[in-house]
């Protein structure tokens, strides 16, 4: 399940409400272009701004779109263990294939606190659990020693590693057998060279075929092809984090004619200068034809699947 291109899906909004038809269309677009798994309700999906009813609606649409085509890994993590257990059990009942559980943000628990949090969540579900380590957002780093300890729990199956330190992947791979997937598009190739099995990708929202091809090439040992794709799209991968995710990726999709780009506060529209930089990168990548303007009238441009 935890391999290849796993798209960290955006959550489309229109007029402050969920845009479920757009979500359905986006899921289909990802699957048509080689995405191996769908990951809704994560950071890129603005999950902290969604209430429980909205979370259920998003998951229902994605599960229906993915049925028989790809697994769905539902983001269920919060900074409260009880709520995380509640969301994880709800995802299990709805039919999710696995749960993505982020380290508790804001609280800054100790390594023992992190262990107990994940142990309690894993013990409350039969779903495979993917740990999610992103210290730049949460303020705490899930250390390899704690991951190795957690790997002894039967249904803790993987970790999304977004510490920005490739050697953490090496240490995890040396110490246990759980899957490691990159949580940073720009480091996917480096982590797969160290034994990672794929990426939970922000860029896959924009270039799903390219990310799928990169992961497939690296998994097959064709590092020359994987490196060629990586180098071609590295400027885009970096530009998608010129401001806080998912601001740039939603803006990119809007510029490509694929959605409104609407964010929920406290996230806000991009600074015009940064949007112009993003538009230039999209133009250079062949994804839009005129910087700062839509590439079409909402139709799916062929280049958008790159």
**Residue of 115, 160, 233, 250 marked active site:** 160
Of 105, 100, 104, 103, which is closest to residue 87 (Cα–Cα)?
100
Active-site residue flag, 132: yes
Write the secondary structure of 62-95 as one string of H (helix), E (strand) and C (coil).
HHHHHCCCCCEEEECCCCCHHHHHHHHHHHHHHC
**Residue of 24, 108, 115, 132 marked active site:** 132
Of 189, 178, 191, 195, which is closest to residue 211 (Cα–Cα)?
189
Strand bridging mode 17-18 / 13-14 = antiparallel
Phi, psi for residue 73 in degrees, rounded to 5: -105, 105
Burial class (CB in 10 A: 0-12, 13-18, 19+), 52: exposed
Active-site residue flag, 87: no
Q: Which residues are catalytic?
A: 132, 160
């Amino acid at each position: 399940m935890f391999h290849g291109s796993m798209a960290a899906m955006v959550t489309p909004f229109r007029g402050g409400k969920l845009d479920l038809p757009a979500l359905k269309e986006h899921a289909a677009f990802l699957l048509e272009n080689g995405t191996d798994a769908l990951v809704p309700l994560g950071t890129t999906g603005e999950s902290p701004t969604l209430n429980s009813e909205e979370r259920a609606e998003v998951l229902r649409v994605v599960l229906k779109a993915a049925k028989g085509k790809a697994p769905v890994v539902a983001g269920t993590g919060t900074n409260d263990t009880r709520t995380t257990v509640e969301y994880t059990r709800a995802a299990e009942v709805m039919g999710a294939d696995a749960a993505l559980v982020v380290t508790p943000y804001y609280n800054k628990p100790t390594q023992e606190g992190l262990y107990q949090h994940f142990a309690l969540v894993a013990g409350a579900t039969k779903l495979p659990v993917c740990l999610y380590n992103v210290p730049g957002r949460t303020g705490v780093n899930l250390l390899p020693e704690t991951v190795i300890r957690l790997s002894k729990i039967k249904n803790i199956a993987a970790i999304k590693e977004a510490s920005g330190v490739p050697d953490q992947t090496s240490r995890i791979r040396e110490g246990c057998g759980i899957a490691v997937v990159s949580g940073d598009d720009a480091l996917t190739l480096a982590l797969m060279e160290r034994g990672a099995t794929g990426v939970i990708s922000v860029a896959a929202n924009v270039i799903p075929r390219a990310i799928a091809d990169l992961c497939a090439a690296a998994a097959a040992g064709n590092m020359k092809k994987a490196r060629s794709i990586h180098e071609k799209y590295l400027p885009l991968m970096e530009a998608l984090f010129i401001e806080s995710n998912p601001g740039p990726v939603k803006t990119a999709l809007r510029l490509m004619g694929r959605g409104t780009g609407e964010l929920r506060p406290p996230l806000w529209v991009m600074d015009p200068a940064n949007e112009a930089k993003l538009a230039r990168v999209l133009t250079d990548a062949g994804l839009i034809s005129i910087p700062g303007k839509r590439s079409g009238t909402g139709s799916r441009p062929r280049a958008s699947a790159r």
